[in-house]
Chains A and B, each alone.
Chain A
């Protein structure tokens, strides 16, 4: 906290927006205006309309990574041109749970996002509605966000001389126009829906309460990784890690790093004190020392 305040007080001289950003970036609870999506795997039929519409809305090229798969646009994973993907889970062996199920991947819009913590100059930051957005003019292309994001969401254009990061920004331009995201708008089964995070959470719990035998008894993203703004329901018997949603615990991913950094630096007080002490010792030693090889 101290360190942030110190940097903030430096930041005040420059810009007021940085202040707001630093405060938002570390918000532990969901901001009141946080929006998000709820994906209900029991409703999804795997039609991939959302994937097509997402590509179209964000002006992304048809997938180019797996040309070997033929002429179809058949992305198998998120990549620079694919900000959402529908994946098929298939049961291996006997046991409980459905034989198949779908899942949808895109940015989770974490409440305390690792990518935002990692990004040096705030190219990735939480903005209106808690949406994690990307501003290329502040990105130096270090790819630390890719190391940090536990969901493997930010993708990089390695093939370009002027590359960018690409990720779902919850259709921010549409939200600002008062529309809903493209993928939720076109979903024919309403398997993915848009709304305020609180409302979506209430809806998810209502579904669990109403049909407890239909669902796996947990809303993924309610607490996971400190909470996310995209929430998931799975069919009964299918734990979330089986469909690629990792068991991350309830602590936010950047929490450890932030805490240790904070206690080491104490608002830049530790480095400043250390510097003063070093200076003192260096000076004293130089006085008492003969044969200084720096003497010219």
Chain B
């Protein structure tokens, strides 16, 4: 199947876009306050909860959803399922945008951000630090992702007579040759840092025994694949809604076969681990920890159940709902590990300050703006098949 990506076209400054931009600006303003006056004025962070919602939401969940690029690269380039090729570029763009949120959020969160320039200094590296591994991999991966997306830019620019056009004509083919090197990195790095995002908490004595485990790296890796594939299904549904694109009716049902298998592996590992450690009893304790644990499991099972059966996977509405449920499952598992499952030493409480929420909203909204601009102006999404009509531009 030969596919061609095309710019979607249409006006950029629609009402939806302006609303998102406004949210983005509010976020940026609050970030300004944080850099001038420190974290305390706009966050509820404390010594008992040194990590608030920014890390789980903007880094761990955003990159989980952003694992679509990883998941697709794995499928197309490693398992050689060429038929999914049309999905790679939009997936990579989503990933690039999502990972950029993560990177930006970390910079806002770091107390002594001006020392970040020392990160590349190899002789300072502490090889035991899981966080160092996460940082180095994520920073490199953001670059890798934008390089992987960039053929869309070079293609978009190459027909122009400007200097940018000339550069694109020169650079595009050369990049093309080197791309396998980048693609392989694009599979290696997420494998490392997505597992390390879970591995971060192996060292913590504050994580509730329902979540603390030596299998955290593997569980995080599986959960990012669940979220990644589900994210693609969700993205497909959303681009149809927001941009009036025809939905992928061939590939999506096939893609939707994967998550239930991953969920099965996740659950076997999760329950097996708890059983082996003799912690199953904790699941019957009527407290908030057991509640959130079962909520995770419920979302995972509901999402998977919706996807069983060929006919069911062909139903776009059902698929969308399943994808949503599975993303929520992955997100909740990650949120629990980073926040809800934390049992601090002493009498500490945390609920996000409004500004923490608005900074997150702002970052996500800006990411949405970037996504829209890119797909409207550059060839990312698959061209509409002949006959399919473009519905509306929101």
B-contacting residues of A (Cβ < 8 Å)? 3-4, 6-8, 10-11, 13-15, 18, 22, 25-26, 77-80, 114, 116-122, 136-144, 146-148, 150-152, 155-164, 244, 246, 248, 253-254, 256-258, 260-261, 264, 271, 274-275, 278-279, 281-283, 285-286, 288-296
Contacts and interface: CB of A to CB of B under 8 A. Distances in A.
Given A18-B124, A26-B128, A295-B176, A141 B203 contact: no
Contacts of A260: 199, 202, 214, 217
B158 to A, nearest CB: 7
Interface in B80-114: 80, 82, 85-86, 88-89, 109-113
Contacts of B9: none
Contact of B126 (A120, A271, A289): A120
B238 interface: no
Given A26-B128, A152-B47, A282 B78 contact: yes
Taking each of B80, B113, B203, which has the highest tally of chain A beta carbons within 10 Å of its own beta carbon? B203
B390 interface: no
27 contacts: A10-B125, A11-B122, A13-B123, A22-B127, A25-B126, A120-B135, A121-B115, A136-B112, A137-B115, A138-B124, A140-B111, A142-B110, A143-B50, A143-B111, A147-B203, A147-B204, A147-B206, A150-B205, A156-B47, A163-B38, A246-B345, A254-B203, A260-B199, A260-B214, A261-B128, A289-B82, A296-B172
Nearest to A7: B127
B46 A158 contact: yes
Residue among B86, B132, B151 with the highest chain A CB neighbour number at 10 A = B132
Nearest to B89: A293
Contacts of B135: 120
B353 to A, nearest CB: 12
B202 A147 contact: no
A140 B82 contact: no
Contact of B203 (A148, A163, A271, A282): A148
A178 B43 CA distance: 43
B118 interface: yes
Most chain A beta carbons < 10 A, residue from B129, B183, B185: B129
B276 interface: no
Given A147-B206, A152-B345, A288-B80, A14 B122 contact: yes
B124 A293 contact: no
- Size band of the interface chain B makes with A: 35 or more
B299 to A, nearest CB: 26
Given A7-B122, A282-B78, 11 more contacts: A25-B126, A117-B129, A118-B130, A120-B135, A137-B115, A147-B50, A147-B203, A158-B43, A256-B203, A261-B128, A278-B187
B173 interface: yes
Contacts of B40: 158-160
Contact of B192 (A144, A271, A288): A271
B112 A163 contact: yes
Query: Most A CB atoms within 10 A — which of B78, B173, B202?
Result: B202
